[in-house]
């Protein structure tokens, strides 16, 4: 009764650059690769669930929890690197949430309530987020502008707990 978001599209955007040329994306990826080794790999997990109404669509989301202060440090670092390359950076994009599904014409209020009741106690296994992914737009497919992986950028050592 819900349209599930494809796993490849379950991203948490931390910084938005707009449309980067291949040259700009390469320069940014190279500069981030040099600096990202200095930033800690945060330990994260998914927990809970909620419904949002965005752009007239009802969707189901889960929250990102864990070392969010370290994630914010990474965001500041990415913004600093990009600004050093004279790129516009929109840091307001980060929300510690991940979209799971979108309601469709078959979705009932009762079904959404049942999904939320299940998600209320949901908590995923924790993982170390050891990379950043630089995504760039691609012209493939209909709907919102699809993205493709331009480069995986390794982060530094795990946050000590």
Please give the Cα distance from 74 to 77 (Å, whole number).
Answer: 5
Strand 127-128 relative to strand 131-137, pairing: unpaired
| Bridge partners of residue 42, in order along the sequence | none
Which segments within the chain are labelled E, that is strand? 2-4, 43-54, 57-66, 97-103, 127-128, 131-137, 147-154
Is 43 in a helix, a strand, or coil? strand
Domains of the chain in sequence order: 2-154 (3.90.1140.10)
Q: How confident is the model at residue 143 (pLDDT cuts 50, 70, 90)?
A: low
- Nearest-angstrom CA–CA distance, 12 and 135: 11
Copy the structure tokens of residue 41: 């790999």
> What proportion of the chain, given as a percentage, has pLDDT over 90?
71
Q: Which residue has the tokens 């707990």?
A: 161
pLDDT tens by residue, 26-82: 999 999 999 999 999 999 999 999 999 888 899 999 999 999 999 999 999 999 999
Backbone angles phi, psi at 94, to 5 degrees: -70, 125
């Amino acid at each position: 009764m819900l349209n599930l978001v494809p796993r490849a599209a379950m991203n948490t955007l931390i910084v938005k650059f707009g449309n980067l040329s291949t040259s700009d994306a390469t320069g940014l990826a190279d500069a981030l690769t040099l600096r990202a080794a200095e930033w800690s790999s945060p330990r994260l997990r998914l927990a809970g669930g909620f419904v949002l109404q965005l752009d007239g669509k009802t969707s189901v989301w889960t929250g990102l929890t864990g070392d969010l202060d370290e994630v914010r440090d990474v965001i500041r670092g990415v913004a600093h690197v990009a600004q050093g390359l004279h790129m516009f950076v929109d840091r307001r994009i980060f929300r510690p949430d991940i979209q799971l599904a979108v309601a469709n014409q078959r979705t009932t209020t009762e079904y959404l309530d049942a999904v939320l009741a299940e998600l209320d106690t949901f908590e995923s296994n924790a993982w170390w987020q050891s990379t950043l992914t630089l995504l760039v737009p691609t012209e493939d497919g209909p709907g919102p502008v699809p993205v493709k992986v331009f480069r995986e950028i390794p982060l530094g050592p795990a946050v000590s707990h």
